[in-house]
Structure 1
Amino acid sequence: MSGEAVKIKGTREGLVIMLDPTREFEELKTSLKKKMEAAPHFFRGARFIVYGRAISPSQQLELENLCRRYGLVPAPQIPWPPERKRRPVPGEPARLVYGPLRSGQEVRHAGHVVVLGNVHPGAQVVAGGSIIIMGYGQGSLHAGYGGNEEALIAAFALSPTTLLIAGVLADPPEAPPATGGPVTALLREGRVVFLPSLPRQKP
């Protein structure tokens, strides 16, 4: 802490008396006493903890007794520093498959599946959510297993042996040819359609 040797921070649970770790104990005690004397009735009855500098038990007791003389009440159960709330990661969890899936390999997952490679003929991917293939999608692909009609299948090119979304079988010849960009299969009006790009997210 720069500036003041002692700072007093209010929380919902009480006061946190923060000590500058670079200052000597006598300077900290003098600074704390001046703050107490500046508002002798303001802190009366408030719960507090002392935080911010490694001090001996006797020094800790000395500061606590100083605060007691001005009506403060030690409360070691005040949580400090406060726990940081983790921000939720945007999007939805997915199973990552590192590398290609070859003939005879099978992946089944209740959520989304992302394959970082090609899905070769003879391989199978079954997902309760969407299937994203960072390569060519061949073999057997079933997204939305269990009835998720919002699921989709996307790949750089799609030429699957079978392709289903929410149990609806697609007609493979309808898939557009490889164009160097993503191809997406999704359900529209109960029928699997293919788009030569990823669909825009709904606002």
Structure 2
Amino acid sequence: MGSDLVSIKGTRNGLLILLNPNRDYEEIRKTLMSKMESARGFFKGAKFSLSQGPVEIPVNQKDELENICRQYGLIPNTDKVAVIRPVHKEPPAPKVVARVAARPETGEAALMVRRSLRSGQSVTHDSHIIVLGDVNAGAEVISGGNVIVMGSCRGTVHAGAGGNRSAKVIARRLSPTSLSIAEKRLSSEISKSITNECQTVKLSGQNFIFEKYVPGR
């Protein structure tokens, strides 16, 4: 889990709150409360599960941490949640998620983020991700399928993580800090030159292809 005390990830079944088993519980409790406070209202109504990897969370600690999440409008998830590999900021190479659909098709499940993502916030999902807002600089979206941003995309975006070269990035205004599809990363110089119009980005061989977005294509 790296050096992070608490990491919050998006999964098909809701939020997965990952706790570092190598750190003191009191540090974890204070960090969770700080993260909930800084994102007040952002996760309201979302289902969540707590995980400490292979280490079982003591019942009294789990109850206290769940109560903290409830105070900020989160709902404990009774469904089994698959653990997704933790995300680290500013990676030296494109990241890989645990599971990837080999060929996205119409009707596949997608994670819908109903708010803009602020700096420091990160969303990871093994299928498509739809952001109903902006991805601001310093925010990060990593998807095993397509990434669709209904507003401005100025952060880090990785579609097709794990090798799905047919994945696309679609955004109303596209000016990312970093853009990757499958194992291929777009250079920062090219990224900064992308025009602010609704575009689709995809891979063709080793090249990134930019097209004006056409619904249904």
User: Structure 1 length as normaliser, TM-score?
Assistant: 0.51
1:178 aligns with 2:196: yes
2:157 maps to which of 119, 125, 141:
141
Identity %: 40
- Relative contact order higher in (CA < 8 Å, ≥ 6 apart): 2
Paired residues of 1:142 and 1:167 also in contact (CA < 8 A): no
Sort the Cα spacing of 1:199 and 1:189 in 2 relative to 1 into closer, same or farther, 3 A: farther
Matches within 5 A, 1:39-50: none
Offset, 1:198: 3.7
The one-letter amino acid of 1:145's match is A
Sort the Cα spacing of 1:164 and 1:199 in 2 relative to 1 into closer, same or farther, 3 A: farther
Give the aligned partner of residue 210 of structure 2.
194
Give the aligned partner of residue 152 of structure 1.
168
Deviations 1:15-45 (A, max 9, x none): xxxxxxxxxxxxxxxxxxxxxxxxxxxxxxx
Whole-angstrom CA distance in 1 between matches of 2:114 and 2:188:
26
Matches within 5 A, 1:34-183: 91-174=107-190, 175-179=193-197, 182-183=198-199
User: Structure 2 length as normaliser, TM-score?
Assistant: 0.48
Q: Secondary structure at the match of 1:101?
A: coil
Offset, 1:91: 1.7
Whole-angstrom CA distance in 2 between matches of 1:107 and 1:132:
13
Structure showing greater radius of gyration is 1
Deviations 1:34-79 (A, max 9, x none): xxxxxxxxxxxxxxxxxxxxxxxxxxxxxxxxxxxxxxxxxxxxxx
Paired residues of 1:110 and 1:129 also in contact (CA < 8 A): yes
Unaligned runs of 5+ in 1: 1-89
Question: What value does the CA root-mean-square deviation take over the aligned residues?
Answer: 1.7
Offset, 1:172: 4.5
The one-letter amino acid of 2:199's match is V
Whole-angstrom CA distance in 1 between matches of 2:152 and 2:203:
20
Q: Secondary structure at the match of 1:164?
A: strand
Whole-angstrom CA distance in 2 between matches of 1:186 and 1:170:
11
Unaligned runs of 5+ in 2: 1-105
Whole-angstrom CA distance in 1 between matches of 2:125 and 2:114:
15
How many pairs does the alignment contain? 110
Offset, 1:193: 2.0
The one-letter amino acid of 1:127's match is S
Deviations 1:141-200 (A, max 9, x none): 000000001100000111111100002011344453113xx2111101122222122476
